[in-house]
Copies of this chain bind each other. A is one copy, B any other.
Amino acid sequence: MNANIAVLEGDGIGPEVTAQSIKVLQAIGKRFGHQFMFVNGLVGAAAIRQVSDPFPEATETLCRRSDAILFGAVGDPEFDSNPKAKIRPEQGLLRMRQVLGLYNNIRPIMTFSEILEASPLKRERIEGVDFIVVRELTGGIYFGKPQGRSENGELAFDSCAYSKYEIARSLIYAFTLAQKRQKRLTVVDKANVLATSRLWREVAHDMSKNYAEVELSFLFVDNAAMQLILNPKQFDVIVTENMFGDILTDEASVITGSLGILPSASIGDSLALYEPIHGSYPQASGKNIANPLGSILSAEMMLSYSFNLMKEAACVRAGVQASLKAGKTTADINASKPVGTSEVGDFISNYILNSLFTPGP
């Protein structure tokens, strides 16, 4: 196949990890006879510096014309430490999600037995953890209007809103996913306090009739934040609103031993974007120490979700597993004998090109 991939490297370690997943996709193209075309676009602080806009129109056009988007990270301490900054890199990310309609963020939390020791949790609690969080990505308090300050500056306000329609399209995705997996769906909300959460609960209740074989349960977000650490094996598919999803997925990342390995997909009606869940990690930028597995596994999700190339995706996974087994990992996992960001990328693309890998049926 031929595919056009928009590459938005962004800030901090974004460029260096993205370079590794491009390497990996090129190796896949070579081995399996596909043609991936990569075109770069500006985003984040890098885009503010060059064109004063964290998500320029040219980037939007590029994304719309592409078959999939490979995203690095955005965020820069220069803007964080200035509470009065008028334009912030994150605005680019949020606007991008909204204008491209990427309303479902899919974050799988899987463990690799090779690196379980790196987890702060005891092995018996996490061995075999395998769940997926569906986070609503274009609604809630992230996008509610009005947002801002009173005229005298004494008061600040944000707004949270959800329509049945917005809730339903995330729930449909989550129910369908649960159907294909262990058939357990957990809706996380704060229905004892929030009106929006009560609407989530109502829509989920109504919809569950259509998915009778899926076991539906509800968890308050404070309890969910506990359960994720106490007993993460209980989960199969979790679905939740934007802000709760942001908090819980970062929290859940500690289970696996490193935030650095976790991928995500942000999926809309026609477009999808693939992005490691780690941020721009500015302290590590340019040092060749960042873990590229989050980006590489995001590329793997692209192969399966956007291109339906299941054999190719399995080959990437096998390469990742081989790198973990061989100890070819960065310092976040392997403190004693780490290798660099680009060495991990080289190892996995070499594996793809040269291994005897043959996927199962």
Contact = CB atoms under 8 A, between A and B. Distances in A.
Contact of A195 (B88, B156, B229): B156
Contact of A165 (B149, B154, B259): B154
Contact of A225 (B120, B142, B248): B248
A160 B148 contact: no
Interface stretch (A249-257, A334-342, A347-355): A249-257
A17 B223 CA distance: 20
A324 interface: no
A83 interface: yes
Interface residues of A, number: 62
Interface in A311-348: none
A125 interface: yes
Interface stretch (A26-34, A172-180, A186-194): A186-194
A39 interface: no
Interface majority SS on A: helix, strand, loop or mixed?
A: helix
Contact of A154 (B88, B141, B163, B222): B163
Contacts of A94: 193
Contacts of A1: none
Given A121-B122, A226-B250, A157 B161 contact: yes
6 contacts: A80-B191, A121-B121, A141-B158, A156-B161, A222-B247, A226-B251
Interface of A: 75, 80, 83-84, 88, 90, 94, 120-122, 125, 141-142, 144, 147-149, 153-165, 190-196, 198-199, 201-202, 205, 218, 221-223, 225-226, 228-230, 243-244, 246-251, 253-254, 259
